[in-house]
Structure formats: structure tokens, C-alpha cells
Amino acid sequence: MKTWLVNTNIRPENGNPNAFKYMLRQNKAAAFYGRAVEIDNICRGDLVCLYHNDNRIIAVGAVVEPYQGHDFEEMELIEHWVDVNWLWKADFNDSFEPLNSIDRRELGIKMVNGTVINITDQVNYKELLTQIAQRPIF
């Protein structure tokens, strides 16, 4: 099992500031356009932490299905995803700001440069479970 940090890229200059809503609602961790193929390294049973800018993790889940490809070849260039069973998701206010996110630094995650990052060796799993347990599930 590996643990992955998947950036939701909410900044408008990244082209899809609402992708995090799609991922949470559709039970997916996704990467888009030039970064799409980075998702292909994630396997069934791996853990995914959705990373929201400003050091915030907004969801943690287990991968139940790796990327299987698209029915339409044109879509291969746009999006790749894995299906995720979210074990915990942050609560959001009316402006879609997370109210109870987890600070990635409290988990020992130092390197966050990229869209899909293997953080298996960085995560303090005891602290991750403690942080989840301290937050209600909505």
C-alpha cells in the first residue's frame, strides 16, 4: 500500500477551480490535461489524501478501482482518475471553504510540489488517524 497526495488545483489559473467538488461528489481522485497520466501509478488499496491549497487536506480515502481508461479516446488527454471510498471528508461553508481540514505539515508531509505525489515515506499514520478521529464526518 502506498499513500498519495493528489492536488485539487483550486487556483483559477489551473483551469478548473471546482474540480475538488467533482472529486468529492463523484468519489474520485483525478488529474487533468498534462498531469492526467500521473494518476495511473495509484493502485487498488492505496490511500489518497486530497490536497487543497494552503496546506489543507480535505479528504482521505482508499482506492477501490484504479484508472481503467476511457470509452472515448479523446478523453484520454483530459482526465484520468481512480475511484475512491472516502473514509473522511472535510465540512465546507457556503463559500466552499473547508471548515475542518487537516494541515499536511502536522502529518509530517514536507514535499508537496506536484499534482500526484507518493508520500508513503512522509506520512505519520498515527497522527493521520488521530486527526481524522478529531473531526466529525459529514
Query: How do the domains of the chain map onto residue ranges?
Result: 3-133
Work out the average pLDDT over 38-48: 96
What pLDDT is stored for residue 70 in this prediction?
72
Predicted confidence at residue 27, as pLDDT, reads 97
Are 122 and 6 in contact by the 8 Å Cβ rule? The answer is no
Q: Where are the alpha helices (H) located in the chain, listed in sequence order?
A: 19-26, 125-133
Q: What is the model's pTM? A: 0.90
Q: What is the mean pLDDT of residues 113-134?
A: 92
Percent of the chain with pLDDT over 70: 92
First CA to last CA distance, the chain = 26
CATH code, residues 3-133:
3.10.590.10
Beta-bridge partner residues of 30: 81
pLDDT at 13: 60
116 pLDDT exceeds 60?
Answer: yes
For the residues 14-30, what does the mean pLDDT come to?
Answer: 86
- The whole-number pLDDT of residue 35 equals 86
The pLDDT of residue 32 = 86
What's the pLDDT tens digit per position in 49-98?
A: 999 887 899 999 999 999 988 777 777 778 899 999 999 999 999 999 99
Query: Cβ atoms within 10 A of the Cβ of 74, count?
Result: 7
